[in-house]
Amino acid sequence: MRIIESLDELKGLIGQEVAVSDWTEITQQQVNLFAEATGDHQWIHVDVERARRESPFGAPVAHGFLTLSLLPMLMANAIEMSDVKMGVNYGLNKVRFTAPVPVGSRVRARVKLLEMEALPPLPNAPTLTGAQMTWAVTIEREGQERPVCVAESISRRYS
């Protein structure tokens, strides 16, 4: 984990890979819970036996949006911002699911800071200073060269 002491320190890292998260395993339980939460029960995700027999992947695979939803956790695992009191996800750009994630795989995120701009004070919290960051995030699968997901993640942090 990389510790960033301040938003000013982070600004000096624009254009650089800032951090890489630890590996995290994708389990069938996670896939099943995600299917329940989203209503996406496609057999390639939740029917283990059928996926082994009929899927071109040879096993159940994680939903692309499950992989994407791990992004906040992976980023928090990779970067700690010491003086930040609050953070919010602001949006995404250019999301692509470039390879499957079979259940049992381990994934991690590489995080590069693309842009950073100061934000005006919040009306209900004028003492907080804020910044909006655009991150290039590449989610990798252990043992595979091709990433499984690439996205630009936009977040706001206040200190």
pLDDT (0 to 100) of residue 7: 87
pLDDT (0 to 100) of residue 128: 84
pLDDT (0 to 100) of residue 129: 86
The CATH number assigned to the domain holding 108 equals: 3.10.129.10
pLDDT (0 to 100) of residue 96: 98
Whether 43 maps to a domain, the answer reads no
- CB distance 69 to 152 below 8 Å: no
State pLDDT tens for residues 52-92: 999 999 999 999 999 999 999 999 999 999 888 889 999 99
Number of domains composing the chain: 1
Whether 44 maps to a domain, the answer reads no
Whether 49 maps to a domain, the answer reads no
Whether 153 maps to a domain, the answer reads yes
C-alpha torsion sign, points 39, 42, 45, 46: positive
From first to last of its 159 residues, what are the pLDDT tens digits of the chain? 899 998 889 999 999 999 999 999 999 999 999 999 999 999 999 999 999 999 999 999 999 999 999 999 999 999 999 888 889 999 999 999 999 999 999 999 999 999 999 999 888 888 888 999 999 999 999 999 999 999 999 999 998
Q: HSE (CB half, 13 Å, CA atoms) of 143?
A: 7
Q: Residue 72's domain spans which residues?
A: 2-26+61-158
Report the predicted TM-score, pTM, of the whole model to 2 decimal places: 0.92
Spacing of C-alpha 44 from chain mean position: 22
Residues in the chain: 159
**Nearest residue to 114 via CA among 86, 78, 76, 154:** 154
pLDDT (0 to 100) of residue 126: 84
Whether 121 maps to a domain, the answer reads yes
pLDDT (0 to 100) of residue 11: 92
